[in-house]
Each structure stands twice: as C-alpha cells, then as structure tokens.
C-alpha cells in the first residue's frame, strides 16, 4: 500500500494489473479553477484550443505545468516509477457531448520511441469520467504481453495521432472501465491496452494526461524535451524546457512549437505515410 497524506493506493495493483485508480489528487475548488481555465481557453480560442491543449500544454500554461509537478500527483507516480522523474509530455483528452470522438484500443508504447518501457500516464479528471461520458477503458494485465502489432487507420474521429489500433480484437468481457470523479486520477502503464468510447453524457469529458518517465529512460530517433519533476537527472537524455512565464506567452509558444516539432518528427518517422490521407495533420503525440 502506498499512503502519503490523503493519497493512497495499492502499488502491487499497478504492477499486477497495469493501472491504479481512483487516486484523489485535487480538491473541488482547485479542480473548478482548472476546469474553468480550460473552458475559457476553448471559448477564447475556438479554432485552435483543441490543437494546443492536445499536446504539451504544460509548456504553454503555468497552471498545468504546476499540476504536472504537484506533490500528490508526483507522490503517486514516484511510488510506481521511483524517485527521479521527468515529465515527457502532456495533453488534454477533450470529448464534447455528441462529437463522436473515441480512442481505439492501443498501447501507448507503440510510437513514442522511449526505452525501456517504464512510463506511466497520470490521467487527471476535471469532469466526471464515467461510462456514459466515455471514460478510459483498460484490459487489466495486458501490459505484461509485450509490444503488440498496431495498424494505422487515420480515422477522423479517432483522437490518436495516427488512429492507431492494436491488430487483435479486444472482447468486451476483457475490458474494465476506469471511473473517476473530478479531481481523481488514474495511473496506467505504457504497455496497457486501453481506449475509450464517445461521450454520451450532456457535459464535456475533460481529462489531462501527463506522461512520466524515470530519468534513465532514453528517446530513440532524436532528442526531445522533458521537465525534471522530482529527484535528480544523472543521464541528461533530454533537453530541459522552461516553465512557461505566462499563459500563451510568446516565449512559451516558441518552446511549445519546438517540442511539437521534435516529438512529431519521431512519431511520424515510422508512420505508414502511404496510408495517410493527403494533407493529414498530426493531432498530438499519442
Ligand atoms: O482519454 C482517453 O479517452 C484516452 C486516453 C489515452 O489513450 C491515454 O491517456 O493514453
């Protein structure tokens, strides 16, 4: 059992099943402030908020940089990954009611080019993430089977960058819903098979996913950014970007664009370009 202050979960569950949830990391007031910030950004930037919130928004928005480095989140991540931690990427998974967006069954490890596969995602709910709103669904224990082959669909309503999905069927009785209330998070292993259905609720489903690695993990295919979140980095496998000085400031935009350029180059390096629709644009690093 990991217990520090109000944060508690069975670490052995994470190692056996590939995930742990629910873990409370935010109070109601903090959750409300962050949720309002996302809603405001979406209102003020209707055409491009989806894009910039989708990938590495911790480099654009101080509040989400601080959330990624916040104590309760890091205490839980440290319990599964150890004391020396980097934030490799982050992004919102936003599903509005009725927009048909879904996430196909996949393993995160497929295209990220990170080795060894000791990566965990903290998925923090800002609105209820339940079956009706299209919560995360996982196949418990699937992280132990190694890397499974994926195919790229580039389907428009698929929220993943390449519409990648595992090349084997997942049956409904294998899958488990991860239900989270606002302010709760789940942790999932990079090899865990997971996905999600469209949002059938009457409110947006808003989840902030942060990808953590221990400092010894390496990036294949190039040099990307990672923020030292806790402990020390004796390896220096990544370049270290600054905390954004203000939300959407010019320097934060420069850092953000550079992070996307580097990660997208790696993501698309192995893409089946010939199957991509002409003019296809990356949606993010997932
Ligand atoms: O939020 C979702 O529905 C999917 C999230 C996901 O695939 C991930 O965090 O790796």
Query: What is the predicted pLDDT for the residue at 55?
Result: 94
Region 220-233: mean pLDDT is 96
Report the nearest-CA residue for atom 1 of ligand 1. Answer: 93
pLDDT digits (tens, 9 = 90+) for 58-97: 999 999 999 999 999 999 999 999 999 999 999 999 999 9
Region 255-277: mean pLDDT is 73
- Which of 101-115, 146-160, 253-267 comes out lowest in average pLDDT? 146-160
Between CA 214 and CA 85 the distance in angstroms is 5
DSSP state of 285: -
Ramachandran angles phi, psi of 32, nearest 5°: -60, -40
Taking phi first (over 0 means left), then psi (-120 to 50 degrees means alpha), and beta for anything else, what does residue 220 get?
A: beta
Region 101-108: mean pLDDT is 90
pLDDT digits (tens, 9 = 90+) for 172-203: 899 999 999 999 999 999 999 999 999 999 99
- Which of 132-136, 146-150, 230-234 comes out lowest in average pLDDT? 146-150
Q: Which ligand 1 atom lies nearest to the CA of residue 135?
A: 3
Query: What is the predicted pLDDT for the residue at 60?
Result: 98
Percent of the chain with pLDDT over 90: 72
Q: Is 54 in the pocket of ligand 1 (CB under 6 A)?
A: no
For residue 194, give both structure tokens.
């997971």
pLDDT at 273 over 70: no
- Radius of gyration of the chain, Cα coordinates, nearest whole angstrom: 17
Between CA 245 and CA 228 the distance in angstroms is 17
Task: Tell how far the Cα of 147 is from the centroid of ligand 1, in angstroms.
Answer: 18
- Which of 25-29, 100-104, 263-267 comes out lowest in average pLDDT? 263-267
Which residues lie below 8 Å from residue 36, measured CB to CB, with a gap of 6+? Answer: none
pLDDT band at 281 (very low <50, low <70, confident <90, very high): very low
Contact 60, 52 (CB under 8 A): yes
pLDDT at 247 over 60: yes
Q: Is 123 in the pocket of ligand 1 (CB under 6 A)?
A: yes
Q: Is 262 in the pocket of ligand 1 (CB under 6 A)?
A: no
Q: Domains in the chain, start-ordered, CATH in brackets?
A: 13-275 (2.60.120.620)
Q: Is 103 in the pocket of ligand 1 (CB under 6 A)?
A: yes
């Amino acid at each position: 059992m990991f217990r520090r202050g109000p944060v508690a979960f069975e670490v052995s569950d994470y190692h056996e099943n590939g995930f742990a949830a629910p873990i409370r990391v935010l109070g109601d007031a903090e959750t409300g402030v962050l949720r309002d910030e996302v809603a405001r950004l979406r209102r003020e930037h209707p055409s491009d908020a989806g894009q910039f919130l989708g990938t590495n928004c911790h480099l654009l928005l101080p509040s989400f940089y601080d959330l990624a480095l916040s104590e309760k989140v890091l205490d839980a991540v440290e319990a599964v990954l150890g004391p020396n931690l980097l934030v490799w990427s982050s992004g919102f998974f936003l599903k509005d009611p009725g927009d048909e967006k879904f996430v196909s069954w996949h393993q995160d490890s497929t295209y990220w080019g990170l080795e060894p596969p000791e990566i965990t995602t903290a998925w923090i709910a800002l609105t209820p993430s339940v079956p009706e709103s299209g919560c995360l669904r996982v196949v418990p224990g699937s992280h132990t089977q190694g890397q499974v082959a994926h195919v790229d669909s580039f389907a428009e309503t698929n929220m993943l960058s390449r519409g990648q999905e595992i090349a084997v069927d997942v049956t409904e009785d294998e899958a488990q819903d991860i239900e989270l209330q606002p302010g709760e998070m789940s942790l999932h292993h990079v090899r865990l098979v997971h996905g999600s259905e469209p949002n059938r609720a009457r409110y947006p489903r808003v989840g902030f996913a942060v990808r953590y690695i221990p400092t010894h993990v390496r990036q294949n295919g190039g040099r990307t950014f990672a923020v030292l979140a806790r402990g020390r980095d004796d390896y220096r496998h990544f370049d270290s970007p600054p905390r954004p000085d203000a939300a959407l400031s010019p320097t934060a935009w420069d850092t953000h664009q550079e992070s996307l350029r580097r990660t997208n180059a790696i993501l698309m390096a192995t893409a089946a370009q010939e199957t991509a629709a002409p003019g296809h644009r990356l949606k993010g690093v997932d």
